[in-house]
Amino acid sequence: MDLHELYVGCRTYRRFTREEVPEGVIREALENARIASSGRNAQSLRYVAVTSPEAVRDMQPLVKWAAALPPEIGTPKEDEQPTAFILVIKTPEAGAFSDVDVGIAVNTIVTSCWSRGVGSCLMGAINIPKIKERFGVAEEDTLRLAIALGKPAHRSTIVELPENGAVHYYVDENRDYYVPKRAFRDIVRFV
């Protein structure tokens, strides 16, 4: 798979098979995040890999899926849920650029996973206090994002923006996703 192909396929996935994500895939993704660039090389991020069946089960009610869709369509059913999560945490020494660091790290993680056939959903709509409590995240640390992981059980296709310019994603009768992206000419200016 070349890099462009990887980026085209590395979409958000919200339904998964029950196949376990191999621990080696998670370790490789986190190793790649470990050596990623960070502002001042501060390396202020920490990660919790949620992989045991009980821990993964406890995460499921603490995340919110697909705000743009009704829950019966966007929320995975019991046999469609992700089989692992990664929590992305900022420590107190995180500086002004730490959200950039988070972006670099999570993109590293999701592309690494996708290169091994594991799909993901970045999740910002999460129950932060409950997740911090359940997984022993220190009070002074900031839980910034969760990443749901699993073998995808649906397709997701990039499409052009409709004429009315709406950016929200939608599904077809098979609950396969379509994700509108702005045209290159509308977001890039060469000078």
Ligand X SMILES: Cc1cc2nc3c(=O)[nH]c(=O)nc-3n(C[C@H](O)[C@H](O)[C@H](O)COP(=O)(O)O)c2cc1C
Shortest distance in whole angstroms from residue 28 CB to ligand X = 21
What is each CA distance from 115 to 32, 61, 112, 144, 178, in whole angstroms?
12, 28, 5, 24, 21
| Footprint (CB under 6 A) of ligand X, residues 158-187 | 169, 179
Shortest distance in whole angstroms from residue 185 CB to ligand X = 19
Nearer to ligand X, 27 or 181 (CB): 181
DSSP string across 167-182: ---EE-TT--EEEEE-
Tracing tokens 């590395």 back to the chain, one arrives at: 10
Nearer to ligand X, 64 or 151 (CB): 64
Q: Does 95 sit near ligand X (CB under 6 A)? A: no
Q: Does 11 sit near ligand X (CB under 6 A)? A: yes
Tracing tokens 């986190």 back to the chain, one arrives at: 30
DSSP string across 46-92: EEEEE-SHHHHHHHGGGB---TTS-HHHHSPPGGG--SEEEEEEE-T
| Footprint (CB under 6 A) of ligand X, residues 103-142 | 121-125
Shortest distance in whole angstroms from residue 36 CB to ligand X = 16
Candidate list 12, 38, 44, 142; residue touching ligand X; CB under 6 A:
12
Footprint of ligand X on this chain (CB under 6 A)? 11-12, 14, 64-66, 121-125, 156, 169, 179
